[in-house]
Structure 1
């Protein structure tokens, strides 16, 4: 809503020194969103005067029309002689009154004016168009003024070129502020000044002589006021003051009748429509559309109507979309195109906001009227708005208001809200007091009765006030949000983090400490992601939970694995030049249950029952927590110190061990096979001592790498945290530091190539006993020396006692026991034996 400050002052006697920014600051404190304060004519400087065209000479020989004019500007040029001006516009004639800017003036831009030689003549000034004066975008011709203005009259004041305009972003709950009346009410309250309400008019009561109107759908139209003006001068033009106010408010002047309806809409907030009475066939009827009906609206488009559309009709059929746009068959006629309109019917009605909103959206036809009806219009303003339009038509167009007044009104129950007088105090955490609460509610138009408990009746222009907390908000905003004290809430002590939250945090800290960077991706994917990962058609990960309203039609499902999002982030970073990457993500995946159930739709007026909550939970998919990593490029960077290490499947496996250690769980790694990993470089991750598979790690399949545009040998890992910790919370102990020395023994064992290293390691651990502190595989060797189909595994065994220094015999005995167990369980042969 654009609010000219000069117009606002008509309804509120603002202090003389108040600028637009001062008013904007007050309105912002009252809760309105003032986006900008536009300074009209800030760089405009006179002389800018009314001129009378004395003569016109058409110059020939040029590519466009050029006219050499002499214009009477009175004494504004200091000599009283006619002013010589060259002009390219052709929409004026000798005797017309025009706007002339003289040398020394500055037009908006800024654009200084001086006398200059052009087209063989001296042009001492300009004859101005609306766009050159900053009045609008119309540049089709210069401004032709009414004949009553004398040459030399100051045009800056005449055209109201200097003003300030507040541009207010009106929120949906503040529909009343889409009018000067509404904004003026807020300004009056903000300044503590009286309001000159433009809707307080003497309106004659309804009678039987008014134009016949029938409302067949009182739910869609609960008020319809009709007034008639006859004897209207079809050639009457909108006066300059009316045109300028419309222009400043952002509406283009069209014709007198239309301009008056737009003006009253801006002034009072009630949309109006003007019909040519002579083109209306019979009584006006308000009804819903019938199947197959059409309507040609004022924009010249023929529209196919829906059964929900609320229509204004006569005997010929639809003549308007109620609250949206009128029809072309009854529009006010332009006298330039034939006989003009001399009899006008003014419609001021109140339509159902939902109906208007749906009709405007269905026909893609937003209008100034529909914007107001959607947000709520004061039904009691219809009579005053119609009277105001009638008065202006009589005053400007010389018409006569007929005595008949049509006013059809459906009964409206009185809305009363009960509110505790101290509710605003409790909401804001400060003390306003009952008197302040009562005064503020009365300032917004409410009637208030009661003491400790108030019975409040909201005004008809505030349909958004439906709840005690709405009233509390009004009191708080008018008292000033900046006056609400900042106080910390009293939060009851909690129980701290849950065990699951602690494990989640420990995993994140451990991975970050290992050099991984956390990323967060959208939990959506589509079939293309599964194809890129090479998943089989019967892979359970292809069974997804699909969204009814996805953000992206190509990704309509919730993820069943973290890898698509994680590998997508890896690809985007590599595409931007980050080639050495180690990233991780933790989050939930969504796995549909085998037996699907439909969730009930609980009511909104009470808490769902335990049975309803259980049914809602049962309809939800399983949402286990996962952690995944992805690596590419160098894990350890190259530099002057030498060549770095390339990230590999071993790093992905170690990331899984890092996660397990953070959760207090030990993993056993064995060979696995699962898409999207390379079948020969995929590790299956198993909780030690069980057969519970919790994830996989390794190098991605070459086809997956190619499909996703990733570097060769890209590695990844994914672990189910819930499965990993299924045995309950594990105690995580810090490493024990012993004061006794360690005894290191190396052992190399030859086994069949098919024997997993993890199985050999488990046998060594079992045989070594409690003196074994750590075991590490440091070499794998194959070749002729060990024989075909064999491999050599070399381990470093660390032995230490907690209470003494081990002897060489004790360490050797523990080593031999470990080797014996490995030989017994895996068929290993001690290398070199």
Structure 2
């Protein structure tokens, strides 16, 4: 929210200077992001009018102007602005003044004397526009100091509001907080009802139920179409970040900024009664004020007129933007003012679906005072009549019975204030603060009955009132105390490996931790083939963040791709986070999406960092597999790998990862492998990327450590080489070996894989070492040979493996 300092001070009187006012706003929760001083140091700058302009004899782009400043003889000014012309009123910096750090003095420009400088808005520090002279209204008083004429000095203050403070999207709403914090009062507004001068009305029908419970309108006829926005209004708008357009549009913007109620003005000659507020039809198209065509559906609300039939033509998207067909223009003399209350649930997310962000939509999404529409229409009427004349009709109001609930009183106990804040606030101070905030306060034996104004949607329970007291009384005045009471310390379970250990281990293997958005683009998931069971957001921040992620890898790979595109040759990232899946179709009141903690990593580039001690080689599947097995070893997990059919994995270079549990069964953990080349092309990834993603909870499980004596007897090793079909996985062979060897097998090592001369095509040779040991005796050769015989027989019968000759 951006506003003019002088505008705020017109609503609340305070002796605080600019810095003090900004500090107060921040202290009470209205964080000041920027303060831009305007019009400081304009002494000697006056309103001038060009009465003569001729071409400079020595320069094509310069003009020699005669400028009247009201003291008799016009001043001669050499000016290069393209909009300098006879009759133009513009700021003139006289000799001796200082503009933008430059002292103005008489000078000769290309041989022609100049006694001052005609100024642009940027040169005066009032705006960023440097395209030409600042054009003042034609009736600007010649010779008057510019600062006095424009209401300067001033400042443009921008504050950052939290979503619950929708009432501060107006100057008057901010004034209540400032008055409470600085011990002042908000000045009353003279907003008496404007009596009707005609019987002209527009019939309005509400067909959207409780989504639009109030709609207020008024017809004004005989408006002067040539009336211009007065300087004081235009400057307040400009300093609030709104560029003036035309009187009728500017009045609606001005009322919205001052009171907080968005409004719209229709050209009544382009509107056909009755007006109907209804849900949009599927596929209905409306041309908006910005020239874009909006395609709507039943979730949008529209204001429609009866051109082509009752409610047939949409003329505005409710709570967001008006339509092109009925907008006011330079020839408008009959206007229909509209101010409605659109409930937040009917507006939230609709602007983003249209690719828009409007001030009206921003306010309605957060909540606007339902009692404001009539007040706003009356105020806008008075402004239009004062500036452009006209004959108003009666105010018409349409409401939905029972849809507008009155604020309910809240019991506030003084004992509860002391309990929550840890300090007492005097009764007189409590009442002063609450009344300054616009609340009705009635004393009771235990405290007060407080009724918040209708604009304060965030006040619902006693703690909300206590928060208001703390905020205005001052957090710095609340003593810091250490909570009392017994502390309960729970020891972490030894059967669960801490996440911090996993993080430290991956960092030790040269990975960097990344934090990616929990929301992803639906199109990205389509490229990955991961659209099943996804959870779409009802109110996404943008189309690129519209779905809750079902996997960590898409976000991590996107981060890897961004780094690789910026010449990062070796990228290694990991993330611990949640993924989300829907359990069937989501319905109102249905259980929340299923959340699963996962750990994932991605890598590309060289297998080791650049150095001179080892020859560089590209990363491959086995490098990442080694990192994963090293990570699993932290919890003592035994992993098994099976060929994967995941659509995003490279065929033959990806696998599903299983963990062997304590009972000998297997639990699916996740996936490891290289990205499919087709996916890499779709992601515009020019490097071979590898990654893994595992469920975190089963990976963290570990058995309690149990001490046992080491065997006093020596181990025996037997090496075997088998020829087996190429498609047989080592994991399957290893499982058969362990089952056949029994408890005396202490370790199984695969130390060679061979294909080539001496091995039939379609087969491979695998050499393994069996480490055998018993805790009760020394194994004999006969014992070892018996184990080897069982292993050979098991591999032959189960996998067709033969001892290599």
TM-score by length of 1: 0.68
Matched with 1:771 is: none
Is 1:652–1:715's contact at 8 Å kept on the other side of the alignment?
Answer: yes
Matched with 1:6 is: 6
Q: Structure 2: how far apart are the matches of 1:55 and 1:235?
A: 26
> Equivalent residues in 2 for 1:471-620 (5 A)?
471-484=465-478, 493=488, 495-498=490-493, 500-502=495-497, 515=509, 517=511, 545-548=533-536, 558-559=550-551, 601-602=588-589
Deviation at 1:239, TM superposition (A): 3.9
The runs of 5 or more residues in structure 1 that have no matched partner are 533-540, 604-615, 769-773, 802-809, 829-833
Deviation at 1:32, TM superposition (A): 1.0
Deviation at 1:458, TM superposition (A): 1.9
Is 1:30–1:480's contact at 8 Å kept on the other side of the alignment?
Answer: yes
Determine which structure has more spread, i.e. the larger CA radius of gyration.
Answer: 1
> Equivalent residues in 2 for 1:653-732 (5 A)?
663=635, 692-693=665-666, 730-732=703-705
Q: Structure 1: how far apart are the matches of 2:354 and 2:154?
A: 37
Q: Mean Cα displacement is larger for which, 574-583 or 89-98?
A: 574-583
Is 1:665–1:724's contact at 8 Å kept on the other side of the alignment?
Answer: yes
Matched with 1:443 is: 436
Q: Mean Cα displacement is larger for which, 414-423 or 288-297?
A: 288-297
Q: Mean Cα displacement is larger for which, 430-439 or 120-129?
A: 430-439
How has the CA–CA distance of structure 1 residues 258 and 790 changed in structure 2, closer, same or farther, with 3 Å as cutoff?
closer
Q: Secondary structure at the match of 1:470?
A: helix
Does 2:8 align with 1:19?
Answer: no
How has the CA–CA distance of structure 1 residues 734 and 685 changed in structure 2, closer, same or farther, with 3 Å as cutoff?
farther
How has the CA–CA distance of structure 1 residues 63 and 744 changed in structure 2, closer, same or farther, with 3 Å as cutoff?
same
Does 2:216 align with 1:224?
Answer: yes
Q: Structure 2: how far apart are the matches of 1:92 and 1:710?
A: 56
Q: Structure 1: how far apart are the matches of 2:530 and 2:435?
A: 62
From 382, 389, 408, the counterpart of 1:416: 408
Q: Mean Cα displacement is larger for which, 255-264 or 319-328?
A: 319-328
Matched with 1:127 is: 118
Residues 439-488 of structure 1: per-residue CA shift (max 9 Å, x gap): 43322212133343744322133244344443333233222344455566
Deviation at 1:165, TM superposition (A): 1.9
Residues 584-639 of structure 1: per-residue CA shift (max 9 Å, x gap): 888899999xxx86677538xxxxxxxxxxxx59x959x69889998996689986
From 56, 70, 73, the counterpart of 2:69: 73
Q: Secondary structure at the match of 2:24?
A: helix
Is 1:5–1:166's contact at 8 Å kept on the other side of the alignment?
Answer: yes
Deviation at 1:378, TM superposition (A): 3.9
Q: Structure 2: how far apart are the matches of 1:787 and 1:86?
A: 96
Q: Structure 2: how far apart are the matches of 1:705 and 1:332?
A: 54
Residues 188-235 of structure 1: per-residue CA shift (max 9 Å, x gap): 11101122122x44436x7796533433228536252537475x6655
Does 2:786 align with 1:821?
Answer: yes
Residues 648-680 of structure 1: per-residue CA shift (max 9 Å, x gap): 99988887876776556778x9x9777789989
Q: Structure 2: how far apart are the matches of 1:757 and 1:572?
A: 40
Matched with 1:535 is: none
Q: Mean Cα displacement is larger for which, 469-478 or 130-139?
A: 130-139
From 134, 158, 172, the counterpart of 2:149: 158
Deviation at 1:40, TM superposition (A): 1.0
How has the CA–CA distance of structure 1 residues 285 and 38 changed in structure 2, closer, same or farther, with 3 Å as cutoff?
same
The size of the alignment, in residue pairs, is 753
Matched with 1:50 is: 47
Note the aligned Cα RMSD (angstroms).
Answer: 6.1
TM-score by length of 2: 0.70
The runs of 5 or more residues in structure 2 that have no matched partner are 725-729, 794-805
Matched with 1:350 is: 340
From 465, 472, 477, the counterpart of 2:459: 465
Matched with 1:101 is: 93
Residues 26-52 of structure 1: per-residue CA shift (max 9 Å, x gap): 01111113211111134x454212335
Is 1:348–1:383's contact at 8 Å kept on the other side of the alignment?
Answer: no
Is 2:671–2:693's contact at 8 Å kept on the other side of the alignment?
Answer: no
Is 2:494–2:704's contact at 8 Å kept on the other side of the alignment?
Answer: no
Matched with 1:537 is: none
Matched with 1:311 is: 303
Q: Secondary structure at the match of 2:705?
A: coil
